């Protein structure tokens, strides 16, 4: 779970290499990955959300509620959002897959379904190798606590053991850079942090653990440009150690930098699946015409 990362095996940023080399390396990686065992198999997946008090003004009102009570139309009390409408794909060890699509197309929902946070209902399903982990530690942190205590809390929430946390604690603080220049921000409550500082600490905590299947939701592009580069390098490092990486991002460039393959989702369905350049180009073309 926590083997040392050998920095030499981590490839340099994509921008450093000439274009042909990037393409050649990617083609080689994809050909290798195609022979690897699968880590995530998604078969005819449907995900429904329930939302209370949504839609129509009458739903939340007292008369509307009374009306429902007397007419026993209980299913109307909540609106059902069919977020994923039956998709299938296979992801194998060594693949890095970008999920792209317009707002509300179901990207984040798909990640949550793979992580087992929103299990499939009745038909279809998601089969995974081990417990995929969503890089979403943000929700466990508390603004009233100091940065130090949030590091411990966040790491515990990701399932790290207290002794492991002791080992890694200083690394997390150093990577986030919040204590640089003698600022000592880690001793202050997180609510006193600037947006950038908070985002940097959150990313550092989330990126502490190595995973077999790593799911990243809009965690890129946090902080200043220096930290952004460091965080992209860290994701590459995680990718080279993890079995499979999924990335949700609205930044097409970071998807191109990090991923070999892309899946384009639109209205809960897969619109296109394949090489990252072809899919992102088609998506950009489609976005321009819209």
Partner 1 sequence: MSGTQTVAVGQADGADSLPVADPEFTELGGTGMAAKYGLAVAGARPNPWAYAKRLWVARHFIVTWATARNQAMYSGSRLGQIWQVLTPILNVAVYYLIFGVLLGTSRGVPDFIVYLVTGVFIFNFMQTAMLYGSRAISDNLNLIRALYFPRASLPIAITIIQLQQLLIAMVILFAVALGRGEPVTWHWLMIAVALALQFVFNTGMALFVARFGAILTDTSQLLPFILRTWMYGSGVFYSIKIMVAKHPNTPGFLTWILDHNPPLVFIQLIRNQLITPPKTSDPTTAADYANAMFLPPHAWLWAVACALVFGLGGYLYFWQGEETYGRG
Which string of DSSP letters, residue by residue, matches 56-78? Answer: SHHHHSHHHHHHHHHHT-GGGGE
147-157 and 195-206 helices, crossing angle to 10°: 40
Q: Which helix (H) or strand (E) holds 275?
A: strand 269-275
> Which of 28, 73, 82, 161 is close enough to bind partner 1 by CB under 8 A?
161
- Nearest CA-CA partner of 159 in 137, 128, 143: 137
Distance CA 49, CA 112 (A): 12
Which of 100, 110, 137, 219 binds partner 1 (CB under 8 A)? It is 137
Binding status of residue 64 toward partner 1 by CB under 8 A = no
Q: Which of 16, 31, 57, 62 binds partner 1 (CB under 8 A)?
A: 31
Residues 238-277 that bind partner 1 (CB under 8 A): 261, 269-275
Q: How many helices (H) and strands (E) does the chain have?
A: 10, 9
CB count within 10 Å of CB 17 equals 14
Residue with tokens 């799911």: 215
Closest approach, Cβ 232 to partner 1, in A, equals: 22
Q: Tell whether residue 139 is a contact of partner 1 (CB under 8 A).
A: yes
Q: Least distance from C-beta 260 to partner 1, angstroms? A: 9
DSSP type of residue 207: T
Query: Restricting to residues 186-225, which ones interact with partner 1 according to CB under 8 A?
Result: 189
Least CB distance to partner 1 at residue 145 (A) = 6
Task: Note whether 38 binds partner 1 by CB under 8 A.
Answer: yes
Which residue from 12, 15, 18, 37 is in contact with partner 1, where contact means CB under 8 A?
A: 37
**Of the candidates 26, 91, 186, 214, which one interacts with partner 1 according to CB under 8 A?**
91
Spatial distance between the Cα atoms of 234 and 10, rounded to a whole number of angstroms = 9
**Closer CB to partner 1, residue 10 or residue 125?**
125
Q: Residue 100 in contact with residue 48, Cβ under 8 Å?
A: no
Q: How far is the CB of 77 from partner 1 (least distance, A)?
A: 9
Of the residues 99, 114, 247, 248, which one makes contact with partner 1 according to CB under 8 A: 114
């Amino acid at each position: 779970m926590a083997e040392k990362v050998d920095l030499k095996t981590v490839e340099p940023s994509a921008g450093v290499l000439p274009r042909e080399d990037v393409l050649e390396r990617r083609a080689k990686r994809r050909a290798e990955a195609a022979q690897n065992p699968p880590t995530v198999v998604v078969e005819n997946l449907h995900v429904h959300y329930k939302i209370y008090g949504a839609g129509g003004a009458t739903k939340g009102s007292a008369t509307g509620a009374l009306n429902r009570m007397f007419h026993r139309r209980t299913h109307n009390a909540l609106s059902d959002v069919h977020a994923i409408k039956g998709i299938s794909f296979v992801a194998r060890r060594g693949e890095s897959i970008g999920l792209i699509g317009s707002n509300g197309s179901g990207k984040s929902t798909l990640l949550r379904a793979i992580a087992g946070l929103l299990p499939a209902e009745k038909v279809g399903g998601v089969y995974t190798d081990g417990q995929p982990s969503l890089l979403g530690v943000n929700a466990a942190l508390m603004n009233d606590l100091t940065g130090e205590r949030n590091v411990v809390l966040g790491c515990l929430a990701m399932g790290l053991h207290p002794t492991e946390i002791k080992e890694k604690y200083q690394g997390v603080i150093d990577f986030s850079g919040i204590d640089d220049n003698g600022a000592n921000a880690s001793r202050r409550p997180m609510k006193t942090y600037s947006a950038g500082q908070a985002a940097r600490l959150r990313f550092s905590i989330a990126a502490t653990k190595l995973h077999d299947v790593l799911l990243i939701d809009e965690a890129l592009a946090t902080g200043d440009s220096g930290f952004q580069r460091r965080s992209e390098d860290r994701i590459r490092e995680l990718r080279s150690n993890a079995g499979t990486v999924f990335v949700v991002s609205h930044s097409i460039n970071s998807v191109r930098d990090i991923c070999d393959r892309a899946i384009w989702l639109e209205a809960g369905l897969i619109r296109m699946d394949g090489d990252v350049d072809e899919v992102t180009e088609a998506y950009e073309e489609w976005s321009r015409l819209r």
